[in-house]
Amino acid sequence: MRDLTTDRIVWKVAGEAGAGIKTTGQIFSRMFARGGYHVFDYVEYPSLIRGGHNVFTARVDKNPFFSPVKEVDVLVALNEESIDLHADDMRAGGTILYDAEKTGYDLSKLAGKDVCTCDLPMARLAKETAGSTLMMNSVALGATVGMVGFDFAILAEVLRDTYERKGEKVVERNVAAARAGYDHVRAECMACGHELTGVEGAQPERLVIDGNEAVGMGMIAAGCTLYAAYPMTPASGLLHFMAENEAEFDVVVKHTEDEIAAINMVIGAVFAGARAMCATSGGGFSLMVEGLGLAGVSESPIVVGVFGRPGPATGMPTWTEQGDLLFVIHASQGEFPRIVLSPGDKLECFEYATLAFNLAEIAQLPVILLSDMFLQESHSTVEQFDLSQVRIDRGKLVRDPKKIPRDGDDYLRYKITDDGISPRVLPGMGATMLVNSYEHDEYGWATEGAEMRAAMMDKRARKLEAVAELLPKPKLHGPSKADITLIGWGSQTAPLLEAMCWLEAEGRSVNFLQLTTMHPFPAARVLQVMQSAGTTVCVENNMGGQLAELIREHCLVEVDYRLNKYDGRQFFPEEIAEYVREVVRVGGRRAEAI
């Protein structure tokens, strides 16, 4: 066997839609996480039930890391197309597992490539040992375990956890198929082995979750009691998670007829005193926009998740993009305050989801959680969330009818206060109020008076000042000053952090400014960092450089370089690091697209 002992491996399984690619990949990730490894995985799939090309990629490492990478160590090709499409992704010395009996692949196509091929008769082994070719993916998992010297017992454990609801027979057949793949590779393909080093002090209690699950856990921890949504990728996973857990955590989950119904149901729920949230993608949010305005004028503390994918219109339903930043900041007619938070990893998904409910109720305004496909549907290992750190703050909500503040005999729902936030009373407590979509006076009665209109606009605007200290601040990763300052937000935090580490290892002076609160924009801190930076590079998963435009608008300065990618795929750290090297070497171009 070649000396390919390593602390890490990148594994890819590819085939047609409907072939169980996602389930196979998730078993792989859970298996290595249970063995103490750090894991990051993501899936690429077309908007089809069957047909098309599906890919699941996982990086596992003995040591912590931030992001997936481009090069692949092991490719499990379930059809011929998968080899054609991904052979160029292979790392030198990598291995392709394929079924020659099933694909009939012409290996001469790989001439000149430094890859090892392992003929693994997946279909035949599955049929012989499990009685069905449906178990061929388990054969591939067993073969992978054999190739890297991993503990087969852990794979068997995870297979049991995955399939036990289908009965003991199904579990036994999958384990038998996996063992056949394991034995075949150990006997026939160890010249292609990639022996993983062991993990000392393994922590199998780490979670392996995606962004939707992390947001859902944050919602439950925050006391959310209603989630309303119409399914739209990539927010559909959150609807599934909440539906699976509604009974255990006493949450009402409503699959509404459309996104308009979802946001209006949430507005009604918070009026009645619930903590409530809806979520969608850009197209669905377009339908919610009028409801967002209603929440703004009625000062309703709603939380809205907007998880982006490439638009416009239907766009690319199952791919990723950061194209909705300016949209969510300016959505709905007129001007009213809202808060936009953008998490950069699974922990921040959890933390910002819990924080969003507090901010919404403290300031009595809509809070938008802005993310995208890459963060919401990728999985990574995280430590168990510390629930002792979760605090619930319902702001000026009056709970005791005897303590309702009154102006004479009347309760003023929209009382003008120094901080712009009025005492909030729920229906049924003995206070009369009027809540509708019109501009109004302090009682809630519609008004068209110039003086009251201006007073209410000013009142609402003051709320952002009142909660400014509660908002997440920009995070400066790395040294306080550097020759190169990377700037980014949201899901692209992962490849940016990975690229920064690589560049630092090369001896370069680099740091990374991660924005977390996108609105109100943290202009003072951004300007402070930019003024101490040598060269600034803004990296975004969109075409227009929307964060760079916000920096120009609020800070009155330009970033030095813009790197944009808008093909539906996330950045890889290799792309960012190479661009920075080019900037250092020759100055680069002011705006570059990948």
Give me the tens of pLDDT residue by residue for the chain, a chain 594 residues long: 344 557 899 999 999 888 899 999 999 999 999 999 999 999 999 887 777 899 999 999 999 999 999 999 999 999 989 999 999 999 999 999 999 987 777 777 888 888 999 999 999 999 999 999 999 999 999 999 999 999 999 999 999 999 999 999 999 999 999 999 999 999 988 767 677 877 776 666 799 999 999 999 999 999 999 999 999 999 999 999 999 999 999 999 999 999 999 999 999 999 999 999 999 999 999 999 999 999 999 999 999 999 999 999 999 999 999 999 999 999 999 999 999 999 999 999 999 999 999 999 999 999 999 999 999 999 999 999 999 999 999 999 999 999 999 988 899 999 999 999 999 999 999 999 999 999 999 999 999 999 999 999 999 999 999 999 999 999 999 999 999 999 999 999 999 999 999 999 999 999 999 999 999 999 999 999 999 999 999 999 999 999 999 999 999 999 999 999 999 999 999 999 999 999 988 775 666 666
pLDDT confidence of residue 5: 57
Q: Please name the CATH architecture into which domain 475-593 falls.
A: 3-Layer(aba) Sandwich (3.40)
Question: Taking the mean position of all CA atoms in its chain, how far away is CA 582?
Answer: 29
- Helical (H) or strand (E) element with 227: strand 226-229
Query: Per the structure block, which two tokens stand in for 563?
Result: 């790197």
Residues in the chain: 594
| Secondary structure class of 3 (helix, strand, coil) | coil
Q: Are 17 and 50 within 8 A, CB to CB?
A: yes
Q: Where in the chain is the domain with CATH 3.40.50.970?
A: 208-389
The bridge status of strand 38-44 relative to strand 53-61 is: antiparallel
Helices (H) and strands (E) in the chain, counts: 19, 21
Instruction: Single out the residue of 133, 125, 134 nearest to residue 179, CA to CA.
Output: 125
**How many other CB atoms are there within 10 angstroms of residue 590's CB atom?**
11
Question: Could you tell me which CATH number the domain at 8-192 has?
Answer: 3.40.920.10
pLDDT confidence of residue 3: 46
Q: How far is CA 284 from CA 133, 220, 265, 341, in A?
A: 40, 23, 15, 19
pLDDT confidence of residue 2: 45
pLDDT confidence of residue 111: 82
pLDDT confidence of residue 101: 87
Query: Per the structure block, which two tokens stand in for 352?
Result: 């910002």
pLDDT confidence of residue 590: 64
Q: Where in the chain is the domain with CATH 3.40.920.10?
A: 8-192
Largest CA distance in the chain: 89
Question: Taking the mean position of all CA atoms in its chain, how far away is CA 563?
Answer: 21
**How many other CB atoms are there within 10 angstroms of residue 569's CB atom?**
17
208-389 maps to CATH 1.10.8.60: no
Query: Per the structure block, which two tokens stand in for 193?
Result: 């082995």
Distance, CA of 138 to CA of 153 (rounded, Å): 14
Q: Are 502 and 478 within 8 A, CB to CB?
A: no
> Torsion angle, CA of 402/403/409/414, rounded to 10 degrees?
-140
